[in-house]
A = this chain, B = another copy of it.
């Protein structure tokens, strides 16, 4: 029988709070029966919601807390006062081993700060990285760091590559991910010293990833790379630029289809295909950002996720825990500690 994975859930996070979360748990459980949930939040709200879903009648433990982190709370407030919140208790459950992984749709800054302080960084990792999957023409591309670290050196980027490749293997299911470093051109001479040194270090062959050199911004969506690594400044700008451009094109498409009666009719006829397109780029289908590199697994769901989107984040959590992502990362990092990086980095750092 497959191993049961225990997932700590922040029951009060997200724009629609507990209603969305519990509905999402039911969807996740119908797809993956060997899940157990430890659900943190207000009894009075959660108990009746759970009662609505037959498949949640077992395998769900509710742990009551009155406190929760609000969307407008500052990370520093959450760290000071949020330990007893539904979010804080979910992270604590990972720390004390009562859960394999935690999922929250709450305040991103608060979740990142609390996870970092409560779980701390893995011994072999200097800086954890916010990681997510982007849709491509052929599948999904793992992109990191998305904003946790504004400045990164070569060593950070190498560690991100190792973490991103392990994430791609366990969550996206790519056996030997094609990895690239985001840069302003693909030639070896281009870019900052950090990207050049990291590239040199990753060129050493490795059984668990295929390093394909530099990637450019227009490579994110093509499927040419399974993992693209960058510093948190560029990664955040790339992520938000993608979101903005998709919205921009969507708004123009809406205008296009409303521009005449014949366009409106055309839209109705083409609706099936257009809905497939929308589903393909719908963030709910790629939901579940992960803060990689901590002593414990934490998944961030979009605050505005639908129940299906939240279930997608739970599925990310399940895959990471089932495959013991943290151990994979530690093991893979040893390949780099013992190889070239020390010499290469010493030259420029």
Q: Nearest-CB distance from A307 to chain B (Å)?
A: 25
| A182 contacts partner chain B, Cβ-Cβ < 8 Å | yes
Q: Nearest-CB distance from A10 to chain B (Å)?
A: 22
**B245 contacts A221, C-beta separation under 8 Å:** yes
A230–B237 alpha-carbon span in the complex (Å): 11
Q: How large is the interface on A (under 10, 10 to 19, 20 to 34, 35 or more residues)?
A: 35 or more
Contacts of A44 in B (CB 8 A): none
A249–B277 alpha-carbon span in the complex (Å): 8
**B269 contacts A247, C-beta separation under 8 Å:** no
Contacts of A236 in B (CB 8 A): 184-185, 216-217
Q: Nearest-CB distance from A137 to chain B (Å)?
A: 6
A272–B265 alpha-carbon span in the complex (Å): 12
Scoring A residues 123 to 160 as 1 if CB is less than 8 Å from chain B, else 0, what string do you get? 00000000000001100000000010011000000000
Contacts of A184 in B (CB 8 A): 147, 150, 232-233, 236-237
A151–B258 alpha-carbon span in the complex (Å): 44
**Partner among B192, B241, B249 whose Cβ is within 8 Å of the Cβ of A281:** B249
**B238 contacts A256, C-beta separation under 8 Å:** no
Scoring A residues 237 to 258 as 1 if CB is less than 8 Å from chain B, else 0, what string do you get? 1111111111111011101111
**Partner among B137, B192, B248, B269 whose Cβ is within 8 Å of the Cβ of A233:** B192
Contacts of A245 in B (CB 8 A): 220-221, 241-242, 245-246, 249
The answer to whether residues A277 and B255 also contact, given A240-B217, A266-B267 and a CB cut-off of 8 A, is yes
Q: Nearest-CB distance from A291 to chain B (Å)?
A: 16
- A148 (CB) vs chain B CBs: closest residue: B184
| A98 contacts partner chain B, Cβ-Cβ < 8 Å | no
| 4 tightest Cβ-Cβ pairs between the two chains A and B | A266-B270, A217-B240, A218-B244, A266-B269
Known A252-B277, A253-B274, A269-B269; 13 more pairs at CB < 8 Å = A147-B185, A217-B239, A217-B242, A217-B244, A218-B244, A221-B245, A230-B237, A237-B241, A242-B245, A255-B276, A256-B277, A263-B273, A265-B266
